[in-house]
């Protein structure tokens, strides 16, 4: 009797779930292979190349931080780092503010708003090379579209791409025009998740449009704002096509960004050690700034329960 009872209890006991780890790893294997092959392996190669010191004219190879020392002693790299900082600040803040304003203004689902959304989003569909080629005709001194229309109101001609004080800001204007519609999509999606009950409650308490936006909409958009900020930061570092098409880093290195500097060192000067060192520094700075942006912006974020 005791044995029968034990067998019945054994059958009634819940069976341990079958391990599915091998199947899960099998399904993840293709993605992991591509991630390792095209992300982490190139990162490891760049790190190794940055520490590899080759003596010109000999086969001698040593290891150390000499490439980083040469990099920081290079005035062109310091200028490119400053330009990249100015370019990032000049593109991220205006593009995000403009995208948020467009998203709030075009939130209502009407046919007219749908048309305007398409118009605003159109620059996103253009490759950056094509957009730069288009703006080449806009920025032509004297005969370009911009100078032509400014001359109609009596403004002086400006060499938008040839003046060292203006060229970088011309690239910033192009980037803001190109990216604002892309960021607008994320804010439109975030606005759909904002409960309308909160707006109604704030309206009943006498809050105006600005008060509702500042106290209700903006706090609830915290996660979206954090995500868009990181995307904008990454774009500011990796976008270089317009520099190649419009200025080649000139005049006088005024538009030379870090990524274009890396291209110059690797493919024009054949200094792979310095190019790899600049890549490692850029990647480390990008990861640190992205983590800081997410931590800072999401710290005050409010989530819907």
Higher pLDDT, 10 or 199: 199
pLDDT tens digits for range 167-190: 999 999 999 999 999 999 999 999
The answer, yes or no, to whether residue 119 has pLDDT greater than 70, is: yes
pLDDT at residue number 7: 58
Q: Quote the tokens at residue 262.
A: 């890396």
Mean pLDDT across the chain: 85
How many CB atoms are located within 10 Å of the residue 125 CB?
11
Q: Which CATH number fits domain 70-299: 2.40.70.10, 1.10.3720.10, 3.40.50.1100, 3.30.360.10?
A: 1.10.3720.10
pLDDT tens digits for range 195-254: 888 878 878 777 778 888 888 888 888 888 888 998 999 999 888 999 999 999 989 899
pLDDT tens digits for range 74-88: 999 999 999 999 999
pTM beyond 0.75: the answer is: yes
On whether the CB atoms of residues 128 and 178 are closer than 8 A, the answer is: yes
pLDDT at residue number 275: 92
**Integer Cα distance of 16 and 257 in angstroms:** 57
DSSP codes, the chain: -HHHHHHHHHHHSPPPPPP-HHHHHHHHHHHHHHHIIIIIHHHHHHHHHHHEEE-TTS--EEESSHHHHHHHH-HHHHHHHHHHHHHHHHHHHHHHHHHHHHHHHT-S--HHHHHHHHHHHHHHHS-HHHHHHHHHHHH-TTTSHHHHHHHTTTPPP--TTT-TTTHHHHHHHHHHHHHHHHHHHHHHHHHHTS-HHHHHHHHHTT--HHHHIIIIIHHHTHHHHHHHHHHHHHHHHH--HHHHHHTTT-STTTT--HHHHHHIIIIIS--HHHHHHHHHHHHHHHHHHHHHHHHHHHHT-----
């Amino acid at each position: 009797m005791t044995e029968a009872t034990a067998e019945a209890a054994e059958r009634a006991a819940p069976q341990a779930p079958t391990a599915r780890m091998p199947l899960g790893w099998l399904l993840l294997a293709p993605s992991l292979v591509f991630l390792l092959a095209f992300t982490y392996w190139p990162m490891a190669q760049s790190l190794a190349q940055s520490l590899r010191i080759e003596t010109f004219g000999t086969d001698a190879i040593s290891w150390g931080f000499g490439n980083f020392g040469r990099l920081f002693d290079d005035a062109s790299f310091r200028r490119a780092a400053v330009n990249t900082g100015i370019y990032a600040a000049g593109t991220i803040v205006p593009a995000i503010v403009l995208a948020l304003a467009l998203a709030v203004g075009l939130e209502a689902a009407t046919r007219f708003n749908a048309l305007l959304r398409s118009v605003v989003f159109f620059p996103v569909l253009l490759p950056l090379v094509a957009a730069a080629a288009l703006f080449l005709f806009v920025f032509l001194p004297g005969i370009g579209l911009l100078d032509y229309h400014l001359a109609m109101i009596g403004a002086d001609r400006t060499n938008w791409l040839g003046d060292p004080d203006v060229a970088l800001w011309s690239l910033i204007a192009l980037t803001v025009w190109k990216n604002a519609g892309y960021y607008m999509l994320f804010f439109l999606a975030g606005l759909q998740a904002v409960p309308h009950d909160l707006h109604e409650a704030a309206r009943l308490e006498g809050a105006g449009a600005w008060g509702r936006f500042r106290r209700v909409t903006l706090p609830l958009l915290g996660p979206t704002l954090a995500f868009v900020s990181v995307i904008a930061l990454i774009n500011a570092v990796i976008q270089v096509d317009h520099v190649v098409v419009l200025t080649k880093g000139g005049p006088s290195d005024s538009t030379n960004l870090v990524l274009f500097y890396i291209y110059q060192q690797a493919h024009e000067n054949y200094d792979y050690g310095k190019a790899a060192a600049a890549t490692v520094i850029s990647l480390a700075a990008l990861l640190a700034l992205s983590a800081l942006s997410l931590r800072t912006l999401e710290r005050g974020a409010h989530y819907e329960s």
